[in-house]
Amino acid sequence: MKVLVLGGGGREHALAWRLKKSDSVSDVYVCPGNPGCASVATCVKPPITTIEGFLSVARETGADLTVVGPEGPLVDGVVDAFEANGLLVFGPSRAAAQLEGSKIFSKRFMERAGIPTARFVSTDDVGEARKVLDGFSYPVVVKADGLAAGKGVVICQDRAEAETTLEGMFTGALVGPAGAKVVIEEFLTGAEASFIGLSDGERVLPLEPSQDHKTIYANDQGPNTGGMGAYSDSRILGAAQRDFVMREVMERTIAQMKAEGMPFKGFLYAGLMMTARGPMVLEFNVRLGDPETQALLHRMDCDLGALLMEAARGRVKPELLAFREEPSVCVVLAAHGYPGKVRTGDAIEGIGEAEARGATVFHAGTKMERGRLVTSGGRVLGVTHSGETLQEAIANAYRASDEIRFDGMQVRRDIGAKGLKRW
């Protein structure tokens, strides 16, 4: 069968790479893709970057199945449009995508469903927001309601910072219209984990756990990014924690969404904090995480095409899902200036050498310019490797990433170290 992937980052390169290895898949298309995707798939530029554009690419390529990578088109209703046109697609509807599109929707949903999450208040009024702060201690977390490309969450150390943040949210200075409404919530402490389930709207299968590294500098210093690296290791959650998360978060969410008339079909990502009170949900995403996907799909040991096709048709099949036990690590190489103003156009060298060391190098922000591969975005590459132990996987990933060079390259040197501390 032919599969179309929508998106053009590291996550989509990893999806295309794993789909290309699937026995059930003959051709992979990525729209718009990137130079990395082009080595395993056919990249197709959409005639227009709207849902209509994606529809026309799906028709033109004759795709039997479309898999949606990023949240934007999901929240805009790309799945509804595909289904209305009789095209098979894997991802949540616009209604179900509110779990990521609106933090207020998501928090209220968790409250209704009895899913463990931080205590919160939501408001769109600055006076009320100030009053609400009286009921919280510090640090306190302020979150923009809408999509903000990873910049919508601010951990405020004291009241002055909270007030400045609220003002920035309501005036639009911080994240534009996404900050017109906010969630103010209790600060939780513990180890973080990313847990992703694959659902057909009724049942949900667990993928392996992983962990992202959000800040630009090692030891969680500096501003947040889209993610500077991730590792996947089955031990991130113990058996009891895994059962708890499946029962109290994943299955509960899928059942409640169905009961409320907006069944969730797609990848359901829970950002978790392992608190002293047990695992709690920090946020839901309605798609695969980036860069978690690069690490996860590196470990995957099954026909992803067949798995997603069955799920899209409404029947997830547990027997189609398998992972290798070996942990994996994805080290992100970021451009000069990231996560602030990014410089582009720096020539990239050494990918072949990194691959000769056994790594898979996923492209995120690259483009071809006069025959040379150059940087074109904040996160440039995701160098991904596995190992018999997590320690080995880390060493393998860094040995490979050390082969790659471009001016201004930024690398966090502690990807996976949190895992080594866990055990």
Residue among 212, 248, 303, 326 that touches ligand GLY (CB under 6 A): 212
State the pairing for strand pair 65-68/2-7: parallel
Instruction: State which residue, 188 or 207, has the beta carbon closest to ligand AMP.
Output: 188
Instruction: State which residue, 290 or 326, has the beta carbon closest to ligand GLY.
Output: 290
DSSP letter (8 states) at residue 158 = S
Rg of the chain's alpha carbons, rounded to an integer? Answer: 21
217 contacts 237 by C-beta, under 8 angstroms:
no
Q: Does 96 bind ligand AMP (CB under 6 A)?
A: no
Instruction: State which residue, 225 or 360, has the beta carbon closest to ligand AMP.
Output: 225
Q: How many CA atoms lie within 13 A of 159 on its CB side?
A: 9
Contacts of 195 (CB under 8 A, 6+ apart): 206, 207, 209, 237, 245, 249, 250, 269, 270, 272
Cα torsion at 119, 228, 21, 323 (round to 10°)?
-50
Residue among 32, 159, 187, 206 that touches ligand AMP (CB under 6 A): 187
Q: Can you tell me whether residue 98 is helix, strand or coil?
A: helix
Residue among 208, 233, 292, 303 that touches ligand GLY (CB under 6 A): 292
Cα 38 from Cα 17, distance rounded (Å):
10
DSSP 344-401: ---B-B-HHHHHHTT-EEEESSEEEETTEEEE-SSEEEEEEEE-SSHHHHHHHHHHHH
Nearest residue to the partner ligand GLY, using Cβ = 289
Instruction: Collect contacts of 37-45 with beta carbons under 8 A, ≥24 apart.
Output: 37/5, 37/8, 37/12, 37/13, 37/363, 40/13, 40/16, 41/5, 41/16
Question: Near ligand GLY by CB under 6 A, which window of 16-24, 51-59, 135-143, 284-292?
Answer: 284-292
Cα 406 from Cα 3, distance rounded (Å):
33
DSSP 396-421: HHHHHHTT-B-TT-EE-TTTTHHHHH
Residue among 66, 211, 285, 386 that touches ligand GLY (CB under 6 A): 285
Q: Does 290 bind ligand GLY (CB under 6 A)?
A: yes
Residue 233: name its binding partner from ligand AMP, ligand GLY, none (Cβ under 5 to 8 Å by kind). Answer: none
Instruction: State which residue, 116 or 305, has the beta carbon closest to ligand AMP.
Output: 116
Question: Near ligand GLY by CB under 6 A, which window of 33-41, 179-187, 285-293, 351-359?
Answer: 285-293
Interacting residues with ligand AMP between 338 and 357 (CB under 6 A): none
Q: How many CA atoms lie within 13 A of 79 on its CB side?
A: 25
Tokens of 356: 């000769």
Q: Does 289 bind ligand GLY (CB under 6 A)?
A: yes
Residue 227: name its binding partner from ligand AMP, ligand GLY, none (Cβ under 5 to 8 Å by kind). Answer: ligand GLY
Residue 290: name its binding partner from ligand GLY, ligand AMP, none (Cβ under 5 to 8 Å by kind). Answer: ligand GLY
Number of residues that bind ligand GLY (CB under 6 A): 6
Residue among 12, 71, 185, 403 that touches ligand AMP (CB under 6 A): 185
The nearest distance, CB 401 to ligand AMP, in angstroms, is 23
SS3 percent helix, strand, coil of the chain, rounded to 5, is 35, 30, 40
The 220-259 contact track toward ligand AMP, x by CB under 6 A, reads ----------------------------------------
99 contacts 264 by C-beta, under 8 angstroms:
yes
Q: Does 283 bind ligand AMP (CB under 6 A)?
A: yes
Tokens of 421: 């501390």
The nearest distance, CB 214 to ligand AMP, in angstroms, is 5
Q: Does 135 bind ligand AMP (CB under 6 A)?
A: no
Residue among 271, 278, 350, 408 that touches ligand AMP (CB under 6 A): 271
Q: Which residues bind ligand AMP (CB under 6 A)?
A: 118, 141, 150, 153, 155, 185, 187-188, 192, 214, 271, 282-283
Q: Which residues bind ligand GLY (CB under 6 A)?
A: 212, 227, 285, 289-290, 292
